[in-house]
Structure formats: structure tokens, C-alpha cells
Amino acid sequence: MEKQPQAFWLCALICINLSSLLHLVEAQDDQKGFISLDCGLSPTDLPYNDPSTGLTYSTDDGLVQSGKTGKIQKEFEAIFSKPSLKLRYFPDGVRNCYSVNVTESTNYLIKAVFVYGNYDGLANDPSFDLYIGPNLWSTVDMHGRTNGTIEEIIHRTISKSLQVCLVKTGTSNPFINTLELRPLQNNTYNTQSGSLKYFFRYYFSTSDRTIRYPNDIHDRKWYPFFDSKEWTEVTTDLNVNASNSYKPPQIVMASASTPISTFWPWNFTWTLPSSTTQFYVYLHFAEIQTLKSLDTREFKTPKSTLPPLINALELFTVIDFPQLETNQDDVVAIKGIQNTYGLTRITWNGDPCVPKQFMWDGLNCNSLDISTPPIITSLNLSSSQLTGIIAPGINDLIHLQELDLSNNNLTGGVPEFLAGMKSLLVINLSGNNLNGTVPQAILQKKGLKLNLEGNSDLICPDGLCVNKTGNGGSKKTNIVVPAVASVAFLVVLGSALAFFLVYKKKKTSNIEGPSSYTQASDDRTTRSSEPAIVTKNKRFTYSEVLTMTNNFERVLGKGGFGMVYHGTVNGTEQVAVKMLSHSSSQGYKEFKAEVELLLRVHHKNLVSLVGYCDEGENLALIYEYMANGDLREHMSGKRGGSILNWETRLKIVVESAQGLEYLHNGCKPPMVHRDVKTTNILLNEHFQAKLADFGLSRSFPIEGETHVSTVVAGTPGYLDPEYYRTNWLNEKSDVYSFGIVLLEIITNQPVINQSREKPHIAEWVGLMLTKGDIKNIMDPNLYGDYDSGSVWRAVELAMSCLNPSSARRPTMSQVVIEINECLAYENSRGGTSHNMNSQSSIEVSMNFDIGTTPGPR
């Protein structure tokens, strides 16, 4: 009787583990826990079995609030299986999300299938983003994907609901054909951090058959691969004991490859998108040859008489999801309120608070730090045609500070639970049809601003509010309880402002905007008193702005100035159009300063101005398009790519420093930027860095004077303490801010983090340096892949830039020289990332030889 072949797996590159051989367990071939959605199936259609796999697909009705159904054109139908013939597309809104019930803390294999099939008759391959919850999963680009594409990830759920979102990024509509979730055993495919994004899955055979369910009980898709020049195929007709926890299919494990020669190594090579890409490799082995008595096959000892053998290989790249989902209690509460009032707003799907650009209309959210889930602090449903009573579910928003339900058709009484909401400071219930007696507990609540105007049937207890008698003797009640500022709240707010402004002794009445602040003493000159912009060159009309942005169709981002939109000039040149918001903390003065600066300065490391619009109330700045966003996004991993390696970070800060050095020394008169920070360092398609946002820039004297007196402006955390203390501005204020940027690229830590022993990054790094170990402060995402001498020089440079005395800080010219020295140190070392930036590809080889052991990467 022949011995049954035994299978085992090996996880390599970040960890190396060898599973024990397990007893044969009969595979379960049911679909327990499977979710298979045909995203174009009508709600009236019954579930069906896909003829090619036997998988049961059902409609997506009820799992997504929006979208329209379509069908690929007949000429493509023969290529695809039944579930891919229909689709759901999303012409309305920017973000549309599926919400699927799942088992909490479970590994799921998630697959989304996209087959365009010219369903809309436009023959225009769509491109859009795919998110899991608030985090970018992938960009789906259908260009050249005639046979469709599949996005696959292994992801551990953190709650009982999983959201998969499609986000419109251009003019084309997102779409999806099928969405599939398969639960896996939790002791498989585990990572140190992040989720596993599918890269490839091969079994080594000369077959042309693709394997999936029912052969694979987890519905993994295995593709055949074989190098006929280097390998020999080995097969067996016996059943392979593949009963380890990964459960590879029998048909996959029944074939394998070995080197042609007994004494040759087994080699396999693949190319990764970046030298800093983290990846996991899962190797599946089974001895499927009948060995002779003296035959030995071992990878770790030189006594092997047979060459290496391997059956299958899976590779995944690691994708980190840094953005936490909104506090789950708040999510349940706000969705309950949504159901109570039957709200169908297009933005009210997906995560309520994050990402910020997709926050639900009418909400404001807050997060104490990056390790804390965002919470809902404000709910505004004014003029939303609400009917019925005030929803009891509002009481479950325990962090709520402001509630506005004004100008609706609400009836019933004012609920007493509002008085028990400890965080609630503002309640606006005016303009409704509320009745009954206002609870005394609400009227007596300290620190509460309450507006009940326009509810004629409300009765207020004597002495606690103002009663007015209307015409005809009918009694009407207008109740406005004046705001009583909470002493504790003001103390906390004052302390926070004092911390942000570095020197706590100086009292100030600064007003903080979304991305910068300016002292109240900086009287903003009214638009009418501002002189017109000197030049008319590059000036666009508002109608031209509407045309270039296609009526502001695609949002790129939002800042203190206003919304930023994607556009094209002359139908070819991509641009970023920044529209001045009427509620912006910045005004015409900053707009005019930025236009006039950028019209006269030109440098390869400064974002260039394509043009501007100055037409009535419509103000716009039109920049060159920077395809890769800002440095902060890439440092945090929010753009979904790999974390920037050390060499790339140095190149980016060198280029940023060159732009700043030009402002200081190449401009006449010289300029001070005043708002240097990682979000103002933008990256083009080649990852070239350019400094942006010059609305706060100011000229400084050059003829014997050392500074200019000006009101303080900048961003909390980056602000030069000497400049703040004295109001004396010079170019060394930019040097201080640049020192903070250097610390950010070294540590990948937030500038302000209240959970640290020292909240400000400069103080924290100073504390860590006293321990003498660079690893205490270096970004752990780099896994030690850097020259320590280069890092030490960068740290020393950053700390010199942060000297309390501006006279002792280096100039930007000296900074450029020093960073280039750091870069030279890094380039001079050996290592995998030598001369590799974050966008370069890297070729990786796996080698199994007699007497060698594969090591982790």
C-alpha cells in the first residue's frame, strides 16, 4: 500500500513558520458564511446557482442605498460567467457604499469583480477608487481590462458590519458586478499589522485550468504557472493529505515543480511595485513522489539526494488601514436616527465621519488622536422636512455638543433626556410644532443655549422664560435661554490654545481657522479697499472656471481657503482649482498675496500658478496639478500606497528646501512663506516635491534690516516661538517650521499628540534623544532600512533648526547642503533600497537549494 503524500505550508518573508502535519480531515463543501452578491440582480429575482462554480448568488438589494442596474453588451457575454453579466453603477454622489453584516474579528477573503463590457455604450473605460470603510483599498482602472479585473484582499473585521465603498474620482461612474466574502480560519493569513492585498496565487503545473470553488473550499482562485525551461513537473494520482489549516485544494497539491537538475536550485522571481513594499509569501509543499529507500529531499541540510520541490505559492502585499472607523455606538445611534426620520441623503452612506471629505452632511466629528475612533459632536438636521417626535435615539449620541432640529414639522413635547446629555451645549428647536410644558431640568441646565422660538403651543414654567401675548389674546411662547459659557470648557480651550501657541504666558484672542490662524489684531482689509491685482495675465472668467472643472465635478480636497477641484485647461492640461469659500478664514488679502507672488516667482520646487479668477464674489486660484497629493498623506499611508522609504523622504525634503531657499535668496524682495508644513509639500506624478500655499507669504527687508514687524500667522505646532513672542518676522521663522517637517519625516509622528509624554514633537524627540538610541524616534515602518549616520545628521539638523534663538538657526542654504549630505550617506550604503524611491519597482527572487535555508525579508 502506497503512503499517502503529506502536505505542509511555509509562510515566509516577514515570518517563517512551519506547520505541523495534521490528520486528514474531510473538506466541507458547503457555503456556510459565504456572501455572494450579484450586484445587478433584480430584488424580485430569486437566488441562483452559478453553473460554473455551483456558488449561490443573490441580489444586493437592501445592502446599498443607491445606484442603478445595467448589463454588459451582448458581444461580451460569451466571455464571462453569469454573475458578471449584470452590474450596478453609481451616477449620483461621490461615495456609495455597501454595508454587509459579518462576523466580528474574523478573517475574510473579500473579492470585488469589475467587468465594464461597455454597458453604457460610451466605450470609455472607467476609473475610480475602492474603499474598505474609511480607508483606500485600491484604485480600479479599467483601461485595457477587456476581460475585467478582480480586487481581492484578506481583511480582519473589527465590528459586525463591513462597508465596501466605491468613490468617484473623475468623470466616469463607479460600478461593480459582484461582491464576495468568504470567512477564513482565524489562525491563517495573520499579519503583524495591516491587511493582505492579493498579488498572485499560483500552483505549479503545466495545466491550463484555473482552480476555485468547489475544489477550493475557501473559493481562492489558483492560476497555473510553469517554467518549462527551468523546471520539471511532478504529479500524482494519489490523494494528498492537505489537512493543515490552510486547506489547499487536492488538485493544486497533486502537482509540483522541481529544478531540471538534481543539483540546481529552484528559483522563482517576481517584481514588486516598490522597494519598500512589505509582503507575505505562503508556500505550500507536499511530497508527491514515491521515494526510494535511500532518497532524501531536504532544504536545510546538504545530505539531500533530490532537488527542491514546491506545489503552490501565494503572495500578498501589506496594506495598512490607519484611519479608524467612527465610534460604533455613535454609528448605531446616527443610523437609528436616519431610520426614524427616513432620511435618504446621498451623502448619508458609508462611515459617518471619515474620511473627512466624505463626512455626512449635517455632522461635525472630532477625534482626540489617531488612536481614538472619531466621535459625532454636532448634528444639524435643520430644514430637513422632519416629522414626528424628537427621536429618542439622539440620547445615544453621548458626545453630542450641538443639536439643530430647527425649521421642521416636529410635534410632541421637548424630551427631558436632552437635559441629561452632559456634553450638549446648544439646542435649536425653533420653527417646529412642539407642544406641552418645557421640562425644568432643561431650562435650569447650566451652560446650555436653548432656542425654542416659533413653537406657539409650548408652555414654559413661570419665571424661567419670557412669555409674550400675541394678537387676539392668544398666548404664544418665545423662549431663548442665553448661553452661559462653561468655566471648565473655557479653561480647557484656553490651555489648548496656549499650548499650540508655544508660549503660555502671553494672553491672546487668536481665532483658529481650519488650517491656519491669524491674530485678531490683524484687521482683515475689506475687499473694496484692496487694490486690484497688478497684472491681468493668466486671468480666467468664472464661466471658464465652470467649464474647466465641469461644474466642479471632482473634488480633490478641502483646506482653510476652500474646496479644491480637478480641472483641465484647453482640454489637455490638468489643473487644481482652489475656490475661495465665503466662510473661509482666509480672504481677499491672502488671495491677492498668493496671486501676485506666484505671478512673479518661478522655480521647479514651487507649485506654479496657471491662472486665477477674480470676478465679483468668485475667487479662484488655478495651479498645476500635483497627481500624488501632499507629503503628509504619503507619510501616513492614507493614499493606499507603500510607506515612503528613507531615501525618498530625503529627496522630497531636499527639493522642498530648495524651493524655500529660492524664496529666501532668489526673490527680490525676499519672501517668507510663513506656513511650511507637510500638507503644503505637494508631489507630482514623478514624486518631485513642490512647495505650495503662499497665501500667508510676506516680503522681508534686505537693506540692513533684520526683520519686519507683522501680526503672527501660521499653523499650530509649526509656529516659530520667537516670531510669536516678538511679532518680528524673518526667514528663520521658515527654518523653524522646516525643522518640524524634518522631525515628521524622521518619526512619522503627529506634530501634536496629547497622549505622548511630551505632546509637541520637538519636546518628545528631545526627550527620546536623551536615551541615546535612534530607534526610539525613527519611524518603525522603515524596519531599520536606513543608514543610521544619515538619520543622526538629519536629527541634528532638525534640532538646530528648532533653536529658540533664530540667530543660531542655520540658513536655508545651509539646510540644503546638510540634507544633501544626509542623502549622500544613505546612497553610499548597501541594501535593498539603495537608489530606490517609493515608486521604483524591485525584483525579488526566491531560491531553494540543497543545504540552504530561505530567510525572511
- Give the model's pLDDT for residue 62: 93
In the numeric block, which cell numbers belong to residue 1?
500500500
pLDDT digit string, tens, across residues 433-456: 999 999 999 998 888 999 999 999
Q: What is the mean pLDDT of residues 255-262?
A: 90
Q: How far is CA 537 from CA 540, 598, 761, in A?
A: 9, 12, 43
Q: Are 177 and 216 in a shared domain?
A: no
* Coil vs helix vs strand at 16: coil
Alpha-helical runs (H) found in 562-697: 588-600, 631-636, 646-665
In this prediction, residue 757 has a pLDDT band, given cuts at 50, 70 and 90, of: confident
Q: Domain containing 407 — which CATH number?
A: 3.80.10.10
User: Which residues lie closer than 8 Å to 704 by C-beta, 6 or more apart?
Assistant: none
More confident of the two residues 440 and 477: 440
pLDDT digit string, tens, across residues 675-714: 899 989 999 888 899 998 765 555 444 444 444 444 456 6
Q: Residue 397: which of 369, 425, 421, 428 has the closest Cα?
A: 421
Q: Are 170 and 310 in a shared domain?
A: no
Domain boundary pick from 434, 461, 485: 485
Q: Which residues of 149-167 are buried (b: 16+ CB within 10 A; e: fewer)?
A: eebbbbbbbbeebbbbbbb
The total number of residues written for the chain in this structure: 857
Cis peptide upstream of residue 302 (ω within 30 degrees of 0): no
- CB atoms inside a 10 Å sphere around CB 817: 14
In this prediction, residue 583 has a pLDDT band, given cuts at 50, 70 and 90, of: low
Domain boundary pick from 285, 319, 353: 319
Q: Are 707 and 765 in a shared domain?
A: yes
Task: For residue 537, tell me if it sits in a domain.
Answer: yes
Q: Domain containing 42 — which CATH number?
A: 2.60.120.260
- The C-alpha angle 672, 675, 677, rounded to 5 degrees, equals 125
In this prediction, residue 746 has a pLDDT band, given cuts at 50, 70 and 90, of: very high
Q: What is the mean pLDDT of residues 807-823?
A: 90
| Residue 193 pLDDT greater than 60, yes or no | yes
- Rounded Cα gap, residues 440 and 799, in angstroms: 58
Match 511595485 to its residue by C-alpha cell.
273
Q: Domain containing 729 — which CATH number?
A: 1.10.510.10
- Rounded Cα gap, residues 352 and 363, in angstroms: 8
Tell me the helices (H) and strands (E) count for the chain, helix number first: 14, 49
Match 543660531 to its residue by C-alpha cell.
808
- Provide the residue type at 274 as one letter: S
- Give the model's pLDDT for residue 291: 87
Q: What is the CA radius of gyration of the chain?
A: 31
- Rounded Cα gap, residues 551 and 542, in angstroms: 11
Match 466580528 to its residue by C-alpha cell.
104
Q: Which residues are known catalytic residues? A: 675
Q: How far is C-alpha 457 from the geometric centre of its chain's CA atoms?
A: 49
φ and ψ of 180, to 5 deg: -130, 135
In the numeric block, which cell numbers belong to residue 48?
441562483
- Rounded Cα gap, residues 698 and 705, in angstroms: 15
Task: For residue 655, tell me if it sits in a domain.
Answer: yes
User: Which residues lie closer than 8 Å to 483 by C-beta, 6 or more apart?
Assistant: 425, 426, 447, 448, 449
- Rounded Cα gap, residues 403 and 667, in angstroms: 50
In this prediction, residue 367 has a pLDDT band, given cuts at 50, 70 and 90, of: confident
Task: For residue 579, tell me if it sits in a domain.
Answer: yes
Number of domains composing the chain = 4
Q: Are 562 and 699 in a shared domain?
A: yes
- Rounded Cα gap, residues 203 and 256, in angstroms: 8
In this prediction, residue 609 has a pLDDT band, given cuts at 50, 70 and 90, of: confident
In the numeric block, which cell numbers belong to residue 627?
497627481
- Rounded Cα gap, residues 795 and 739, in angstroms: 9
Taking phi over 0 as left and psi of -120 to 50 as alpha, with beta for the rest, 277 belongs to: beta
- CB atoms inside a 10 Å sphere around CB 92: 11
Task: For residue 206, tell me if it sits in a domain.
Answer: yes
Dihedral of CA atoms 806, 811, 816, 822 in degrees, nearest 10, equals -50
Task: For residue 511, tell me if it sits in a domain.
Answer: no
Q: Are 86 and 162 in a shared domain?
A: yes
Task: For residue 498, tell me if it sits in a domain.
Answer: no
Match 472668467 to its residue by C-alpha cell.
541
| Cα atoms found within 13 Å of the Cα of residue 400, Cβ hemisphere only | 28
Q: Are 335 and 308 in a shared domain?
A: no
Q: What is the mean pLDDT of residues 368-383?
A: 86
Domain boundary pick from 126, 150, 184: 184
Task: For residue 721, tell me if it sits in a domain.
Answer: yes
Q: Are 649 and 532 in a shared domain?
A: yes
Burial zone of 81 (CB within 10 Å; 0-12 exposed, 13-18 middle, 19+ buried) = middle
Domain that holds residue 49: 35-184
Task: For residue 506, tell me if it sits in a domain.
Answer: no
- Rounded Cα gap, residues 665 and 12, in angstroms: 52
In the numeric block, which cell numbers belong to residue 346?
446621498
The answer to whether the beta carbons of residues 645 and 833 sit under 8 Å apart is yes
The structure's pTM equals: 0.58
Q: Are 148 and 56 in a shared domain?
A: yes
In this prediction, residue 499 has a pLDDT band, given cuts at 50, 70 and 90, of: very low
Proportion of the chain above pLDDT 90, given as a percent? 50
Confirm or deny that 578 is annotated as ligand binding. yes
Q: Which residues of 714-734 are buried (b: 16+ CB within 10 A; e: fewer)?
A: bbbbbbbbbbbeeebbbbbbb
- Give the model's pLDDT for residue 772: 66
Q: Are 371 and 465 in a shared domain?
A: yes
Q: Are 374 and 413 in a shared domain?
A: yes
Q: Are 271 and 396 in a shared domain?
A: no
Q: Are 15 and 40 in a shared domain?
A: no
| Residue 519 pLDDT greater than 50, yes or no | no
- Give the model's pLDDT for residue 13: 38
Cis peptide upstream of residue 355 (ω within 30 degrees of 0): yes
Alpha-helical runs (H) found in 666-787: 721-726, 732-747, 761-769
